């Protein structure tokens, strides 16, 4: 049987006592009211390393012999697994070499070093988790050092499954849905293995980033598929493929897969902060974003949403806000060619609505030309205001190019 046995998950729970905390399962009034159901947030963002990853990493390493660990371990991670492994290395006093993508937020790198202390060395390599993983596995083979996988390992999955144990123990009522984010599939495989054994009627909803749908690709194909390209923005769940072990389990336990655009995750990051004072990373926000897709199904139901991690770098907030505005359709960039004469800019400004705001403007006048381009960013109050803005520009014969759908040009702006 593909599923992780309940007894293995319960044994992992014993090992994790004093290492991982039993995080709260809290009913959330804001989202319960919004979706007309009972929403419970499983707060893994409050874990010691601010994500669930300590559970699997410590369980795996605790099961290894002293001989296996004598020369240390190696792993690859986009951030959260690295922190879990680092903490496990410190507690077990094992040398760890951790390979992380060069794109990893500084906040996560600093935390890895903090949790691992003298026992951990961080090496930045590659642009994605998968590229870092290739290097880490090569070093593991060359030096005969154990590789601690981020998700495709039954002991890792058993550790993550302890989240499921805590969820069922904390709920007196029947749980109708559990919503879980998916990168490699370790968390959902662990939760699903336990929950389906104890409460088979509970539906398990997998949530992936639209730019990295590795589980959906594998489920559709019936085998592990390696995606050629992924969007690495939601670094916690941006993987090119799930594992063969996690795929086998997910084929048994996953009832639905929802793909969430990265821009919508950004909207929910801001919403969670503004409404609930909860700081989450993009991967974590994906599960809140997914609720819109099942809003009709969950009415009147008990729904557990697993907030998998809160390791967000504050320096990313401007990008997060920008992506949110773009996704919501309330910010637009244009390349506008203005006649180089007095009053041209004022005429353009008169076309804007009362609530429109110019948030970006770049223009250099060149006296040897009759016209010149300006890069203009405009924030509108409502998405539906865009059509009116464009119509006024066209009626006034404004020469413009809308850049939001031009990836190469647009990439320069955010």
Average pLDDT over residues 22-42: 98
- Answer yes or no: is pLDDT of 73 > 80: yes
* Residue in 51, 241, 308, 324 annotated catalytic: 308
- Answer yes or no: is pLDDT of 409 > 70: no
- Answer yes or no: is pLDDT of 254 > 90: yes
pLDDT tens for each residue of 229-239? 999 889 889 99
What CA–CA distance (Å, rounded) separates 255 from 14? 29
pLDDT cut 90: percent of the chain above it: 75
Q: Is 371 one of the catalytic residues?
A: no
Confirm if 207 and 182 have CB atoms less than 8 A apart. Answer: yes
**What is residue 405's predicted lDDT score, i.e. its pLDDT?**
75
- Answer yes or no: is pLDDT of 190 > 80: yes
**What is residue 365's predicted lDDT score, i.e. its pLDDT?**
66
**What is residue 369's predicted lDDT score, i.e. its pLDDT?**
62
Confidence class for position 78, pLDDT limits 50, 70, 90: confident
Average pLDDT over residues 405-412: 64
- Answer yes or no: is pLDDT of 56 > 60: yes
Token pair of 74, please?
């190696």
**Structure-model confidence comparison of residues 326 and 260, the more confident one:** 260
**What is residue 315's predicted lDDT score, i.e. its pLDDT?**
78
Confidence class for position 413, pLDDT limits 50, 70, 90: low
Q: What is the pTM of this model?
A: 0.90
Rounded (5°) CA angle 337-339-345 = 85
Element (H, E) at 385: helix 385-395
- Answer yes or no: is pLDDT of 46 > 70: yes
Ranking 3-17, 201-215, 393-407 by mean pLDDT, the lowest is: 393-407
Secondary structure (DSSP) of 253-285: H--EEEEE-HHHHHHHHHHHHHHH-----HHHH
Confirm if 139 and 133 have CB atoms less than 8 A apart. Answer: no
Element (H, E) at 349: helix 344-349
Rounded (5°) CA angle 224-239-225 = 20
HSE of 197 in the Cβ direction (CA atoms, 13 Å)? 20
- Answer yes or no: is pLDDT of 1 > 60: no
- Domains of the chain with bracketed CATH: 6-51+155-321 (3.40.50.1100), 53-151 (3.40.50.1100), 329-410 (3.30.70.260)
pLDDT tens for each residue of 356-370? 999 888 877 665 566
Strands 302-307 and 177-181: parallel
Secondary structure (DSSP) of 363-380: E---TTSSEEEEEEEEE-
Secondary structure (DSSP) of 389-400: HHHHHHHTT-EE
- Answer yes or no: is pLDDT of 127 > 90: no
Ranking 123-132, 142-151, 364-373, 381-390 by mean pLDDT, the lowest is: 364-373
**What is residue 235's predicted lDDT score, i.e. its pLDDT?**
86
Confidence class for position 412, pLDDT limits 50, 70, 90: low
Q: Integer distance in angstroms from the first to the last C-alpha of the chain?
A: 47
* Residue in 53, 108, 216, 225 annotated catalytic: 53
Mean pLDDT of the chain: 92
pLDDT tens for each residue of 303-357? 999 999 998 877 788 889 988 998 999 999 998 888 877 788 888 888 888 889 9
Average pLDDT over residues 93-109: 89
Q: Is 181 one of the catalytic residues?
A: no
């Amino acid at each position: 049987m593909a599923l992780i046995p309940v007894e293995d998950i319960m044994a992992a729970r014993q090992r994790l006592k004093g290492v991982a905390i039993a995080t709260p399962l809290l009913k959330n009034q804001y989202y319960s009211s919004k979706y007309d159901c009972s929403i419970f947030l499983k707060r893994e963002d409050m874990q010691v390393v601010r994500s669930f990853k300590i559970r699997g990493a410590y369980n795996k390493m605790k099961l290894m012999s002293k001989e296996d660990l004598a020369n240390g371990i190696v792993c690859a991670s986009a951030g959260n697994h690295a922190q879990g492994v680092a903490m496990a290395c410190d507690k077990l006093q094992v040398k760890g070499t951790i390979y992380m993508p060069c794109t990893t937020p500084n906040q996560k790198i600093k935390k890895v070093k903090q949790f691992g202390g003298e026992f951990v060395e961080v090496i930045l390599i590659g642009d994605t988790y998968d590229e870092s993983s290739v290097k880490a596995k090569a070093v593991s083979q060359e030096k005969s050092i154990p590789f601690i996988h981020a998700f495709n390992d039954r002991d890792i999955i058993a550790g993550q499954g302890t989240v499921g144990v805590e969820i069922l123990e904390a709920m007196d009522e029947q749980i109708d849905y559990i919503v879980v984010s998916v990168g490699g599939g370790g968390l959902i495989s662990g939760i699903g293995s336990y929950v389906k054994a104890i409460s088979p009627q509970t539906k398990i909803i997998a949530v992936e980033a639209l730019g990295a749908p590795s589980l959906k690709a594998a489920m559709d194909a019936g085998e592990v598929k390696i995606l050629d390209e992924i969007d690495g923005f939601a670094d916690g769940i941006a993987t090119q493929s799930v594992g063969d072990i996690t795929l086998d389990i997910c084929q048994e336990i996953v009832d639905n897969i929802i793909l969430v655009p990265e821009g919508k995750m950004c909207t929910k990051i801001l919403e969670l902060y503004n409404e609930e004072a909860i700081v989450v990373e993009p991967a974590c926000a994906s599960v809140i974003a997914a609720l819109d897709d099942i809003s009709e199904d969950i009415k009147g139901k008990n729904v557990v949403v697993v907030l998998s991690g809160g390791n967000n770098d504050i320096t990313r907030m401007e990008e997060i806000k920008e992506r949110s505005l773009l996704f919501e359709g309330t910010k637009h960039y244009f390349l506008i060619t203005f006649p180089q004469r007095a009053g041209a800019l004022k005429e353009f400004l008169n076309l804007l609505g009362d609530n429109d705001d110019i948030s970006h403007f770049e223009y250099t006048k060149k006296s040897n030309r009759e016209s010149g381009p300006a890069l203009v960013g405009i924030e509108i109050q409502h998405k539906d205001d865009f059509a009116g803005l464009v119509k006024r520009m066209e009626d006034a014969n404004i020469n413009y190019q809308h850049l939001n759908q031009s990836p190469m040009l647009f990439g320069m702006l955010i």
